[in-house]
Amino acid sequence: MSNTNNPLLIPLKNLPTPKATAIDGQIVTRSFSGRFRNLRILGAGVLAVLFFGTSWINWNGHQAILWDLDTRQFHVFGPTFWPQDFMLLSLVMIIGAFLLFAVTMIAGRVWCGYTCPQSVWTWAFMWVENITEGDRNQRIKLNSAPASFSKIAKRGAKHSVWLAMSIATGIAFVGYFIPVRELTVNLLQFEWFSTSAIWVFIVAALTYLNAGWVREKVCLHMCPYARFQSVMFDRDTLVISYDAARGDTRGSRKKDEDPAELGLGDCIDCYMCVQVCPTGIDIRDGLQMDCIGCAACIDACDEVMDKMGYARGLVSYTSAAALADEPTRILRPRLVAYATAIIIMLGALWFALDARELVDMSVVKDRTVLYRKNSDGDIVNVYRLKITNKTQMPAHYELHIANDARLSLTRTFTLDLKPGEIVDMPMSVVMKGASAESGMTHFDFVLVDSNRITTREAANFIYPAF
């Protein structure tokens, strides 16, 4: 179909045809507006504020969220998680995966289109490109223009802002592993060769490359999620589709011409949906693996429909069932199974968090000397106790012996630990008097904190016959 009469097309003298979305291997998209774009800006804005802002929040005198690699402690506002708690992290990640499966089954690749960091950063970089170098046709012209002051200035402005955004991303990301205030001060004092600074530059370089240069190729060739997402789709999944029954036969026409008289459908073949697509595909060719579900083509086509005076929705969120004039089901057996699994795992997570101990105690019996006799003639066994205060508050503990009245500690034992402090110490347990028979008895070390919460650890006491 010819596009020469299309009133919506900007004359493309000396420019590639509207079909060409890739120039020198880079997709060159057109800017657009619309309700899904606004939704994405809102979602990305909230995520960006959370990502860049959360590490600067302090809680109880500490950074609110910090994965402290030195001490191997993960602070999340109040609670501190330790390597022993990593099962909980695994559970959170499995719940996240099931949520993603369920959302994909309902609404297709909304994660990719609206919240995936690769997409969000790519859209942000494209926005900067649009501000500094102009819209699609200006960028295509700039690309083929000879070197000039204006070209260098525009390119320089774009790359400067990209680099600033990349470094900000690197600082924000590494700031979740190294206290962000300390990290920022070190960078401002030109300490650029420390391990933390090198990680900032590595993350910044990856951001600059991924969002500035590689862009949609990450989605098309590197992201595993794109490979298996179709397994989660069914006839009722909402996907972005072109309504071929309404749109075909495609062709240009004047706004006041009746398409029915021309033997045409509602698609004016303007290629706007193709030119805004960040992966450079034509949605009118049907559902494709390359579609990241960003809905840019819906916004672009709705704008065209508005200008032509046609009803919106030639490209829309719909399901295969709806396109075949069948009802779209919300509740499906597999979705119910996902929801059930999520609810069960959330219950397990709640239970595990509630049962999580805030102090850790481990006991190892001294194996070099099973027992010894002290100067009073009592039997003594020696143990090594390792006690960890897993909270972010100072804690006071008392240690007792339980379950065998013959056993006692050599003295009343109290302990003050700083937040996250670990002590490793020997501990003697005494059995008063002699026993007619040798043997072994079981008892508990009992640690009581200032809130009278107890932690128990079982141990064995070995005694000879005297």
Q: Give the binding site for ligand SF4 (CB under 6 A).
A: 240, 242, 247, 267-273, 276-279, 281, 283-284, 291-297, 300-301, 304, 314-315
Taking the least distance from each CB to ligand SF4, the nearer of 22 and 93 is 22
Q: Which is nearer to ligand SF4, 179 or 313 (CB)?
A: 313
Nearer to ligand SF4, 62 or 284 (CB): 284
Taking the complex as a whole, the smallest distance from the CB of residue 272 to ligand SF4 amounts, in Å, to 4
CA distances from residue 346 to 66, 178, 352, 388 in whole angstroms, order as listed:
23, 30, 10, 27
Could you tell me the smallest distance in angstroms from the CB atom of residue 225 to ligand SF4?
A: 14
CB of 133 to ligand SF4, least distance (A): 21
Closest contact distance (angstroms) between CB of 274 and ligand SF4 is 7
Distance of CA 373 to the CA centre of its chain: 59
Q: Are 111 and 103 in contact (CB under 8 A)?
A: yes
Nearer to ligand SF4, 40 or 158 (CB): 40
* Nearest CB to ligand SF4, comparing residues 7 and 96: 7
* Residue 140 or 301 having the CB closest to ligand SF4: 301
Burial category of 368 from C-beta neighbours within 10 Å (exposed 0-12, middle 13-18, buried 19 and up): exposed
Q: Which is nearer to ligand SF4, 6 or 63 (CB)?
A: 6
The length of the chain, given as a count of residues? 466
- Whether a cis peptide bond, with omega within 30° of 0, leads into 249 is yes
Angle 398-353-450 from CA coordinates, rounded to 5°: 20
> Does residue 454 have a cis peptide bond before it, meaning omega lies within 30 degrees of 0?
no
- The gap from C-alpha 7 to its chain's centroid, in whole angstroms, comes to 44
**Residues 43, 333: Cα–Cα separation, whole Å:** 30
For residue 262, give the nearest of 274, 254, 271 by alpha carbon.
254
Q: How far is the CB of 338 from ligand SF4 (least distance, A)?
A: 24
Least distance in angstroms from the C-beta of 120 to ligand SF4: 14
Strand ranges inside 374-419, DSSP E: 379-389, 395-402, 407-409, 413-417
Residue carrying structure tokens 């193709």? 274
Q: In the bound complex, what is the minimum distance in angstroms from residue 288's beta carbon to ligand SF4? A: 7
Cα–Cα distance measured from residue 244 to residue 261, given in angstroms and rounded to the nearest whole number: 18
What is the closest distance, in whole angstroms, from the C-beta atom of residue 59 to ligand SF4 in the complex?
A: 39
Phi-psi region of 425 (alpha: psi -120 to 50; beta: other; left: phi over 0): beta
With CA atoms as reference, report the closest residue to 255 among 183, 310, 213, 314: 310
Residue (32 or 98) nearer to ligand SF4, CB = 32
Q: Which of 236, 245, 230, 243 is nearest to 321 (CA)?
A: 236
Minimum CB separation of residue 268 from ligand SF4 in Å reads: 5
Compare residues 244 and 349 and give the one whose CB is closer to ligand SF4: 244
